[in-house]
Amino acid sequence: MHTICAMKSVLFVVDQPKSHDHPLTFFPRQASLTCDVCGLLRSNYPTYVCLRCNFVSHNDCMYSPRIIKISRHYHRISYTTSLRSREWSCGVCRKSIDRDYGAYICEKCDDYVVHVRCALRVDVWDGVELEGVPEEDDITQDVGPYEVISKGVILHFLHSHHLRLEVSITYDENRLCHACVMPIVEGNLFSCLECEFILHEICAKSRRRIQHLLHPHPLKLVHVSECDYNFFCDACFRVCGGLIYLCPILECDFGVDVRCAAISEPFHFQGHEHPLFLALDPKVKPICEVCKLECRKQFNCIECDFIVCIKCATLPYEARYKLDKHLLTLLWGKEVCEEDWCEACERNLKDTSTKLFYWCKDCCTTLHISCLFDDDLYVKPGQVLKVEGKEDVKVLAKGNLSRPLCDSCKYPCQGRTFTTDNSTMCSMKCARGKI
């Protein structure tokens, strides 16, 4: 034995493991044995064997919980020693599952199965054993986000005034939804009877509590003003100034904006023919096929090698531009048009680092995303952003008559401006570099 191994306390016999009916004995040459619980060969984990039957288990696998709740599925899942004969794929990593080894199954769904090690990942399982605990589906039975006062009039739980249902027939780039902080386009919305508070109809229906794919604990809908810091979404990593979902457990420090809160599997990205999944290990940081930058959180295709980061995946596929009567669509990885300049900033697209654009196929109108929506899509005019150790930055609405020069990049500000007492910037990126 290695000296360090000899100093460790090792149980040579485990009398009543959870995963097996007989006592298990420590087996020192574990490198050649596949665990019957997780189906893996992990040479760095102490391995135990049953001397009465052909059973092998890692020391951590023998204590695997029997019933758990994970972030990737609506129902509880329970451990089983084997699966019936058919092709199975894991509901987390989407890889095949060997039916001769242990796995977690959903007893309410016929086709949902998860690898043991995938189910017990810290970003998937909350660490709570639910065997013997009554099942209460409090997420789906949660109280609705608003009270109906009368026909077409509601009271949202995060606003003190009544909201009236309206139909928008005109586009105003400065009229923003207070939940997702995106412009109001044609369609239904709820408008406050006493102030300028507005919600898209679909945003008004955002539930008070949700279970998100990226986090094991339920998340609570709150206003960003409840945070005493700049809120960065843990899915797209953008600053947000609207409504957000936060984990009530302070130690988690996890939250997402309302747009990222709506993502689900399979995810249908309009720029790709196959459905996408959150199937890659969180430690993997691949390159996004759309923006060509390293992903922090991403969807990937099971049928091909396509990968898109959540930041790109949650961009609106269609958008309005005030000087074009048609809808603009998101374009990436292709030639835009013969005219290769941005309609707003009048810069050549080849001179900019971005690979993403909005364009009108009828008029060949082309715009940078930052010129149409700003670099910081989800910040709100009037919002004050904090820069650690420096001046606070105030966000001003997009001006139609003037384009002040950014003190950092020296280009005219196309959208919202970020100001301090002494400086004007076109984005938080410029603000962090200037102040």
β-bridge mates for residue 384, sequence order: 394
Q: Locate 111 and state its tokens.
A: 């086709």
- Per DSSP, 404 falls in state P
- Start-to-end CA distance of the chain, whole Å, equals 59
Render pLDDT for 116-166 as a digit per residue (tens, 0 to 9). Answer: 999 999 999 999 999 888 877 555 556 789 999 999 999 999 999 999 999
State the amino acid at position 40 in one-letter form.
Answer: L
Render pLDDT for 1-23 as a digit per residue (tens, 0 to 9). Answer: 777 767 766 678 887 677 788 88
Q: What is the mean pLDDT of the chain?
A: 85
Instruction: Determine what percent of the chain is predicted with pLDDT higher than 90.
Output: 38
Establish how many alpha carbons lie within 13 A of residue 285's alpha carbon, considering only the half-sphere containing its beta carbon: 4
CATH architecture of 146-204: 2-Layer Sandwich (3.30)
Helices (H), 238-298: 258-261
CB distance 112 to 299 below 8 Å: no
Domain boundaries, the chain: 3-63, 146-204, 209-261, 271-313, 318-373, 384-434
CB distance 309 to 297 below 8 Å: yes
Render pLDDT for 411-426 as a digit per residue (tens, 0 to 9). Answer: 888 778 888 888 888 8
Question: Whole-prediction pTM value?
Answer: 0.86
Lowest mean pLDDT among 19-28, 86-95, 104-113: 19-28
Residue with tokens 């665990």: 35
User: Could you tell me where the beta strands, DSSP code E, fall in 344-410?
Assistant: 356-359, 366-368, 384-385, 393-396
Domain spanning 3-63 has what CATH number? Answer: 3.30.60
CB distance 137 to 209 below 8 Å: no
Render pLDDT for 361-383 as a digit per residue (tens, 0 to 9). Answer: 888 888 888 788 777 788 888 88
